[in-house]
A = this chain, B = another copy of it.
Amino acid sequence: MNRRVLLASRPTGLPRVENFAFDSAPIPEPGAGEVLVENIWLSIDPFIRGRMNAGPSYARAMEIGEVVVGGTVGRVIRSNVAALEPGDLVQGQGCWQQYSALRVADASELEPGVLPTWKLDPQAFPARFALSTLGMPGLTAYVGLHDIGQLRSQDTVVVSSASGAVGSVVGQLAKIAGARVIGIAGGPQKCSFVAHRLGFDAGVDYKAPDFEARLRQACPHGIDLYFDNVGGTVTDACMSLLNTHGRVVLCGQTAHYNMESLPPGPDRSLLLRVQILLGRLNVRGFIVSDHWHRREQFLADAAPLVTSGRLQLQEHIAQGLDAAPGALIDLLQGNSFGKVLIQIAPESGE
C-alpha cells in the first residue's frame, strides 16, 4: 500500500496539522511515458503554502483530498520509459506519499509549475542535493541573481531568508562573483551562520529592535541588488536603502503567505511606485519553473562548487512522512534552519 498525506481542508492563515489527513491507497500503476518511483526524500518548500489556497495563481491550486504537492528524490521500481530502468534515481514531483507514478516529459509539455522528472547520477553528488543546492532552490538562486538581477561584481547584494535553501545559495554565489553580500535572517544563530560559516560580509537579524539601523550600518554604500524572499517590513527597510538604478528580484513573499487579509493602512503601494520611479529601480518577479532550460548550465557551474566545498548547505532533516505537516508549519514560521527535507525511505533501497 501507499501511505499518503492529503489536503484535508484549506488553511486560513498559518496551516495547522488538522489541514492534513493521512491515508493508504493502492500503489499507483505507471501509465505510458511514466515511471513508478519509491520516494526517498521529500522537499519542504514555501511554495506549497500557496497551492493550499483556492484559485489558481501561476500553477493550479491543490484540490481538497489531493496528495500534497512537493518535490521528491526516489528510486525507479517500474519503468515504461526507455531512458529509465528500475534502480535508477530520479527527482520529480512525487508529492507527499511513498510511491508515485511520475510522467517523464519535456518541461514544456507539463502543467505550469510542475517539477519535471530528471534522472540523477548517484556518483555526481548526494541525491538529496537535487532538492536543495543543486535543485529547484539552487536554480532559483542562480536564475534570480544572474538572469533576473543582472548581478555585477561591484554590487552590494542583500538577500532575505539568508540561511534558507534559496537565500544561502544566493549569498554564496554572489560572494563567489565578487559582490559584497549582506544576509537578513531571524535570530543570532542564523545571522552568525551566514556571516561565519557561509562567508557573507554580514548577517543582520530582522528580529532585533534596531534592525533598520543595523542594516543601514551593514550597507554603507547602499544596496544595488535586493533579492527578496520575504516581503513585509524587511523589504520596506531594504527598499529605502536601494541605490539609484538598483534592482529588486522578487522571488518570494513568505511574510504574506499566511495573511488572511491585507494589513492596515496607510496604503503604501503608491510609495513603492514612487520609490521605483525616483530611484529608477528595476523590479522583477520570476518563477523558477519558467527557467528549467537554464538547469544544465546551472549544474555545470554549481556542481563543482558543491563538490569542492565552496558552496555549502545547512540541512534540516526530519524522518518519516508523518513529520511533513509539522515541518511545513515550522518552515512557514521561520522555526527551521536551512533546507528542510523529510526522509521517507532509506537511501539504499529495500
Does residue A298 face the partner (Cβ distance < 8 Å to B)? no
Chain A 197-247 residues near chain B, CB threshold 8 A = 228, 231-232, 235-236, 244
How many residues of A are counted as interface, with CB atoms below 8 angstroms from the partner's CB atoms?
A: 42
In the bound complex, do residue B279 and residue A285 qualify as a contact, i.e. CB atoms below 8 Å apart? yes
Return chain B residues, CB-CB under 8 Å to A236: 269
- Report B-chain residues with C-beta under 8 Å of the C-beta of A271: 262, 269
User: Do residues A272 and B274 form an inter-chain contact, with CB atoms below 8 A?
Assistant: no
Interface assignment of A25: CB less than 8 Å from any CB of chain B: no
Known contacts A262-B265, A278-B285, A280-B285; is A270 also within 8 Å of B57 by CB? no
Q: Are B276 and A270 in contact (CB under 8 A)?
A: no
Chain B: CB-nearest residue to A56: B278
Per the 8 Å Cβ criterion, residues 56-113 of A in contact with B are 57-58
**Is A277 part of the contact surface with B, judged by Cβ < 8 Å?**
yes
**Residues on B with beta carbons closer than 8 Å to the beta carbon of A284:** 276, 280-283
A253 within 8 A of B: yes
**CB < 8 Å neighbour of A267 from B252, B268, B286:** B268
User: How many copies are assembled?
Assistant: 2
CA–CA, A269 to B267, complex, Å? Answer: 7
**Among residues 286 to 320 in chain A, which have CB atoms less than 8 Å away from a CB atom of chain B?**
286-287, 290
Docked Cα-Cα span, A57 to B277, in Å, equals 10
Q: Which residues of B contact A280 (CB under 8 A)?
A: 58, 284-287, 290
Instruction: Give Cα distance in the complex from A279 to B253, angstroms.
Output: 13
Residues in B whose Cβ lies below 8 Å from that of A265:
262-267
A320 to chain B, nearest CB (A): 33
CB-based contact A273/B231 at 8 Å? yes
Q: Is A131 an interface residue (CB 8 A)?
A: no
Complexed CA–CA distance, A286 and B244 (Å): 10
A235 to B280, CA, bound (A): 18
Contact between chains at B262 and A267 (CB < 8 Å): yes
Q: A276-B283, A277-B286 are in contact. List 16 more A-B contacts (CB 8 A).
A: A58-B280, A232-B270, A252-B277, A253-B274, A261-B266, A262-B268, A267-B267, A267-B268, A269-B272, A276-B285, A277-B285, A278-B287, A281-B283, A281-B284, A281-B285, A283-B284
Which residues of A come within 8 Å of B, CB atoms?
A: 57-58, 228, 231-232, 235-236, 244, 250-253, 255-256, 259, 261-274, 276-287, 290
